[in-house]
Structure 1
Amino acid sequence: MRTPAASAPRTRAARLLLPALALLLPVLVLFGMFGAAPAQAADGYRYWSFWQRGGDGGSWSYATQGPSSARPGDGDMIGFRFAVSEDSNDATRPRGMADFAAVCADTPTTEGTKRVAVVLDFGTAADAPDRRTPPAPRTECARVGEDATAGEALAAVAKPLRYNSAALLCAIAGYPESGCGDKVTTSGNAHATPNGDGGKASDDGASSGPSAGLIGGLATVVLLGAAAVWQARRRRV
């Protein structure tokens, strides 16, 4: 049978650990709420995005004007990429690093015209409406009038084009055969962003809640603090 003297230290230890456990409880609740949150579905759109790049190379920039308004200069590059994207921040760049000199090497200049390098990237099977392999990417050199728009340069080398009633570019070189800016629901809570080679990079750091590592670290801090208090109290007894 335990004597009162023998059980007293354990009773004091229990009283000291109870506050620590009370601090730890909210941490465990947070872990239960956020630690394994399911992925959320995100809505994207399947469409042709429009890009611009200087003829001397560099990276693609998402065009701030539509093809019917933008007027590239002689020696400029324009690109079109078919993919599923949530918005302009999520749009996927055209693949390939061909520069203007390589694309238009066999197209001589003529007076009263300009040359525009056109990059066409039909995307991947994952982006295709029917999941079939799309046409291979290709480049073309458009020789058009000095005042021609990007849309006119595109029409010179990639017919047939298809537009909807709102003037949205729906198909280039007949691809895809149907649909225009169709809404697509994708799984996962990561917001994909384009990377330099035309693929999609990892998520932008968005998270559904505290990570397991953070939760574990908080729990450890609480328990170590409680142990230190207990040891200090024991030395004073």
Structure 2
Amino acid sequence: MTSALRRAAALLAAVPAALLVLVSAAAPAQAADYRYWSFWKWSGGAWAYQQQGPAVYAPADGSVDGWRFALSPDGGKDAARPGAAGGFAALCAATPAEAGRKRVAVVLDFGTPADAPKGAGTPPPARTACASVPTAATSAEVLAAVAPPLRYDGAGMLCAIAGYPRAGCGEALADAPAGESGTAAGSPAGHSLLGPVLGGLLVVLLGAGAWWQVRHRR
């Protein structure tokens, strides 16, 4: 066997091992889900994940803040959204405008029994409110005005709204049952094998091409 033929044979022999490595690397890691209060804003007729924290974000007059407690993946857009719509006109119809103050509607969704921490009991029913607060108030101050008591951890993470839940704060659950989180069925994780599999096919084709060239040079 010529040296070129030996090199081609070695390349083909390496293909299964390379594919095994690629497929193994492609297996998605178990992402942790967390029980926490996700923060939303009503925008364009739908809930949009709020990128700023409530202690920083200062909603404008006529805004709607949404809160949902659920078992959700970390990362924002795939978290569980509030179940109710956030129309400001309806939510704040009974709250008159005042000079030097702003009105901010609030939607609170305490989640489902499946979202509740162990021992927390049945979550309170969802509710809405309309806060009349100083114009510079943040969403944290809006929330404190309509849904006390609030509970924060040492790092400033919001752990409880209106006293719910009584204990815990953002616990990670690595093996959350399917369907309990707000992860979308078409999330990128569902397509994570595509790149490595194509890479594996490319290795096979390269190996086959090398073998063909050697065979035709003999």
TM-score by shorter chain over 0.5: yes
2:57–2:138 contact (8 Å) kept in structure 1: yes
- 1:203 counterpart residue number: 188
What TM-score comes out, normalization by structure 2 length? Answer: 0.70
Secondary structure of the residue aligned to 1:77 is strand
34-43 vs 167-176, which moves further: 34-43
1:35–1:210 contact (8 Å) kept in structure 2: no
Which digits, 9 at most, give the CA deviation of each residue in 1:164-214, with x for residues without a partner? 4554322112221211233433479xxxxxxxxx93231358858963453
Q: 1:48–1:59: structure 2 CA closer, same or farther, 3 Å change rule?
A: closer
Aligned runs of 1:1-237 on 2, under 5 Å?
Answer: 18-36=6-24, 39-53=28-42, 57=45, 60-67=48-55, 69-84=56-71, 87=74, 92=79, 94-95=81-82, 96-130=84-118, 134-186=123-175, 199-201=182-184, 202-203=187-188, 207=192, 211-230=196-215, 232-233=216-217
Separation (CA, whole Å) in 1 of partners of 2:87 and 2:13: 60
Gaps of 5+ in 1: 1-11, 189-197
2:72–2:183 contact (8 Å) kept in structure 1: no
Separation (CA, whole Å) in 1 of partners of 2:6 and 2:53: 64
RMSD: 3.9
Separation (CA, whole Å) in 1 of partners of 2:188 and 2:113: 21
Gaps of 5+ in 2: none
1:158–1:173 contact (8 Å) kept in structure 2: yes
Separation (CA, whole Å) in 2 of partners of 1:229 and 1:36: 31
Separation (CA, whole Å) in 2 of partners of 1:116 and 1:187: 34
Paired amino acid for 1:62: Q
Separation (CA, whole Å) in 2 of partners of 1:35 and 1:153: 49
Count the aligned residue pairs.
210
Larger Rg: 1
Secondary structure of the residue aligned to 1:130 is coil
Secondary structure of the residue aligned to 2:159 is strand
Q: 1:90–1:75: structure 2 CA closer, same or farther, 3 Å change rule?
A: closer
What TM-score comes out, normalization by structure 1 length? Answer: 0.66
Separation (CA, whole Å) in 2 of partners of 1:177 and 1:169: 12
